[in-house]
Amino acid sequence: MHHFHYKEDQLFCEDVPVAEVAREVGTPLYLYSHATLRQHFLAFDRAFSGVRHLTCFSMKSNSNMAILRLFALLGGGVDIVSGGELYRALKAGVKPDRIVYSGVGKGEADLEYALSTGILMFNVESSQEIVRLNQVAKRIGRRARLSIRVNPDVDPKTHPYISTGLKENKFGIDISDALDQYRMASGLKGLDAVGVSCHIGSQLTQVEPFVDALRKLKGLIRALGDEGIRVDFLDLGGGLGITYENEAPPHPEEYARAVQAELGATDLTLIFEPGRVIAGNAGILVTKVLYTKATREKTFFVVDAAMNDLMRPCLYDSFHAIQPVRPRGREKVKADVVGPICESGDFLAREREVERLDPGDLIAVMSAGAYGFSMSSTYNSRPRACEVMVKEDRYYTIRKREGFEDLIRGESIPDFLTEDLDRGE
């Protein structure tokens, strides 16, 4: 359930008219519902209330500090993939011992930064990373807690670009090689092997791939026990999907029942890294129609949001529902909703049946709370959108809109190129 609904012939977020926010802060803008974020986090977290667990929000899906702070106050942690994400999480008040560090290419400086803050553990993804982490830990006089991210070669039945658990993917260590890597890690003085981790992909709409992966992980954990290597954490990653169009993903409670049925009684602490399932349907992208354009072949609605604001449609050919902020009961037309960027791939929807729109009309691009702003850029020197959170009948700007001056911050022109500038030419 989300808190975007029509009332009095206009779209509301909780108790605030979307058009009112757009009028006062401008477009394009990302708009999030506090109640939906809270409800989705608790629905996932409480589904596992019968076992020891930690819900670590996958902050690559949405890294706004206000959202991270909300989840921290609800007892959650975060899954990070960079030193920058660690910095954000700490500034938002996430406790270090509730942070897990994933990612295939952690730099040495980031490893040292994370070690110095005392994060819960590193999900390591290669033998060279194990060696590097040990070297960094010994140099700064710390012991690094790690789990090895295992690649179980399970087909997640999702888009190829967000599949991460097959042999051909760059992530993790092949499960057939994992035991040897644990033996190596256990022999290094700067490391403590404390867990096993796995993440097979994103936007999964079936429970079976999760269960298949867990079944393989159980075998590895038994083999580790036979070797005298005891692990305390089992990180099952994230990946649970949401409804964008016609998908019917399992509810977190169904997922939890399947995991607990397969795992049985355990002393392990389970770690989960949900992102999209919490944030996806908690946010929308609001954009204004600039122009309408009809050719002999197609109708286009040109809006002020673009692929730099929401990359998913052009990157994955993803579906996002398009809804008018103020429905007027007009005829439906088949049209492309496109942005101002100079790329043919700059679209938010193609061949979509939508209500006929006029310049100045507002539309909501639904299910944009995950991998929306966090994947945005300043391509074509377009300042990034603002982010707003609604709580009940009030709204709060949680990231101000960028301006032109933000686009060139940090840039400089060297002296040998400034002569004409100095003369005013």
- What phi, psi does 311 have (nearest 5°)? -85, -20
Residues with active-site annotation: 342
What confidence score (pLDDT) does residue 111 get?
Answer: 98
Residue with tokens 């009684």: 265
Q: What is the mean pLDDT of residues 213-221?
A: 91
Q: What is the mean pLDDT of residues 18-31?
A: 98
Rank 209-213, 220-224, 245-249, 419-423 by mean pLDDT and report only the highest.
220-224
- pLDDT band of residue 165 (cuts 50, 70, 90) is very low
pLDDT at 247 over 90: no
What's the mean per-residue pLDDT of the chain? Answer: 93
pLDDT at 160 over 50: no
pLDDT at 67 over 60: yes
Give the residue among 192, 206, 311 at the shortest CA–CA distance from 249: 206
pLDDT at 192 over 70: yes
**pLDDT tens digits along 348-374:** 999 999 999 999 999 999 999 999 999
What confidence score (pLDDT) does residue 162 get?
Answer: 40
Side chain identity at 77, as an amino acid letter?
G
- Choose between 247 and 79: higher pLDDT: 79
**pLDDT tens digits along 301-314:** 999 999 999 999 99
Q: How far apart are CA 144 and CA 127, in angstroms?
A: 15
- pLDDT band of residue 200 (cuts 50, 70, 90) is confident
Give the residue among 119, 87, 74 at the shortest CA–CA distance from 100: 119
What confidence score (pLDDT) does residue 279 get?
Answer: 97
Q: What is the mean pLDDT of residues 152-174?
A: 59
**For the chain, which domains are there?**
4-31+280-407 (2.40.37.10), 34-276 (3.20.20.10)
What confidence score (pLDDT) does residue 422 get?
Answer: 57
Predicted TM-score (pTM) of this structure: 0.93
**pLDDT tens digits along 74-112:** 999 999 999 999 999 999 999 999 999 999 999 999 999
